[in-house]
Structure 1
Amino acid sequence: MNGSGEGLLLLQAYDFEHHLDLRPWIVDNWRTSFPMVLVYLLLIFMGQRVMKGRSGYNLRLPLMFWSLSLAIFSILGTVRMWGFMKAVLLWGGLKHSVCFTRFYNDPVVRFWSFLFSASKVIELGDTAFIVLRKQRLLFLHWFHHSTVLIYTWYAYKDKVASSGWFMTMNYGVHAFMYSYYTARAAGLRVPRPCAMLITVLQILQMAGGMTVIGLNWFWMQDRNCHISQDQVFWAFSMYLAYLALFLHFFHQTYFRGRAGKTKGE
């Protein structure tokens, strides 16, 4: 481990992690995320119109492989990013873990943060399965997918200091979520509490994101905390909106829905 300047290495990188640095491309083209989201929303509208007079497709096998691929990717991302963030905590403490941006120069983070940014485009494919199977498409689903894509590319472009925690938490939650989707698509009977647990993890992720941003704001006046007021505002607004939506989803799905079902029995 080298403790000096830009050469700081906190986690041993594999050879393949040294050979991918496409951040300059996203810096120059991050606004491409806006037309991508527009196309995504138009395809949702068109897809629902096309499917209106048709029966939904089964797609169980493609969905299983799709979810399995994203589950494996998320597990690997969790292992690598958590290993790095743990090293940051041990090396520099909590303040350093939420304030410094030098980690973008680390080959491990450079590799997995680019894949993280790219994955937000790939994950838009989740919606295709919902539309083609004629399942109910929630506002939470498409709003979350759209805004996460735009914010992720914006944060990656600006080297937002707290992004290490954002990526680590998201990778971790998605590792559980896509594993659950894989099991469901494979026809396995998954206990209802597992679905509740995933929603709880998503709520905790949003609360965790707001906590990290709160620490950013608290330490923002410190010249060693590399974050701006605009970055704090957009990140906090995003996480607050997600927290409200997931709390509403949790209440509607696991409490109000169950109460209504009990009344009707």
Structure 2
Amino acid sequence: MNNNCTEVEDPYIRYVMSQRPFGWNFTDPPVFKPYEFEKVDPFYWVSLMEDNWKVAFYAAAIYIVAIFGLQKFMENRAPFELKKPLFVWNLSLGIFSVIGFVRYVPGFMLVLSQPNGFYRSICIKDGMDLPTGYWTLLFAFSKFWELGDTFYIVLRKRRLVFIQYYHHVVTMIVVWIVGPLVEPISRWYTVLNYGVHSLMYPYFALRAIGIRVPVFIANLITFLQLSQMIIGFTVNMTSLYHQQIGNDCIRYPVSIKAFSLVYGSFILLFGKLFYDSVIKSGRRQKEKKLL
């Protein structure tokens, strides 16, 4: 990567390269011994993201045009069943999320267990071993992979709701362009996402092949999704608070603003989803039983 910011023409790249918080060495003693495939050069991949930050916007544009174009194409056609492909798709994402969560949690908990662990986990650069660094990178790249969810909805002619494509696009863009700042707080966003997806995608896989899952599981997943957004927003605001009172906290204005917008909008959207699918639906079920 070219470290001379004056030789870079793109304003955003100049900004990221000048603000990027160096200090992670990715050589902290790992809680678990890293596998060979986890021994990647994190600086190469972070540099790749910096140099290709527009890729997320291109992918978002292609994605939006493709899903609505495909939806138009399917208007007068029979829906595809796609049970087996959808099962494999969701199962693969579920397995990926479970492995990511299992590999990520030990390093995350090690930081939390230290004195002032919560503060350190959102503000201080430590606890980034090779497995944690590797699965953080995969988390960023997986946001492109997850765009495929929507194509199954369109091809099966299921109802395409705003929250579906909005959260995919916004998450992908923000994670991709803010990721190169390598902020300590990113560990929170990553572990929360892996954790919720570890339950969500296996649930979708079972539903895809017609296996009935208790309603409380679906309600639990919706609750966890909303909780993820509330926690994400809370740790983001907590880091801003630490900066305001003069504590050292490695956060940057562009990231704080971006995640405030993202998690703020997600709280509203997933809050409505939780109300409609859990609270309101539960009331209807109670009313039916009383009749």
TM-score by length of 1: 0.91
* Greater CA drift, 6-15 or 226-235: 6-15
- Matched with 1:71 is 94
Q: Could you report, residue by residue, the CA deviation over 1:147-195 in whole angstroms, capped at 9, with x for unpaired residues? A: 0000111221121331001000000000000010111112211111111
Q: Which of 29, 42, 47 is matched with 1:9 structurally?
A: 29
- Matched with 1:248 is 272
Structure 1 residue ranges, 4+ long, deviating more than 6 angstroms after superposition: none
Q: Does 2:195 align with 1:175? A: no
Equivalent-residue separation in structure 1 for 2:34 and 2:112 (angstroms): 18
1:117 and 1:152 in contact (8 A); partners too? yes
- Matched with 2:53 is 30
How much identity, in percent, do the aligned residues show?
34
Q: Does 2:95 align with 1:84? A: no
How far 1:103 sits from its partner (Å)? 5.0
2:103 and 2:131 in contact (8 A); partners too? yes
Equivalent-residue separation in structure 2 for 1:83 and 1:141 (angstroms): 31
Equivalent positions of 1:1-265 (< 5 A) are 6=25, 7-11=27-31, 12-19=33-40, 21=42, 22-91=45-114, 93-103=117-127, 106-221=129-244, 222=246, 224-256=248-280
SS in 2 for 1:160: coil
Q: Aligned residue pairs: how many? A: 260
How far 1:99 sits from its partner (Å)? 0.7
SS in 2 for 1:78: helix
The runs of 5 or more residues in structure 2 that have no matched partner are 1-22
Equivalent-residue separation in structure 1 for 2:269 and 2:60 (angstroms): 20
The residue identity in structure 2 corresponding to 1:15 is E
Q: Could you report, residue by residue, the CA deviation over 1:226-261 in whole angstroms, capped at 9, with x for unpaired residues? A: 102232121122101001101111222234456678
The runs of 5 or more residues in structure 1 that have no matched partner are none
1:10 and 1:88 in contact (8 A); partners too? no
The residue identity in structure 2 corresponding to 1:33 is A
SS in 1 for 2:34: coil
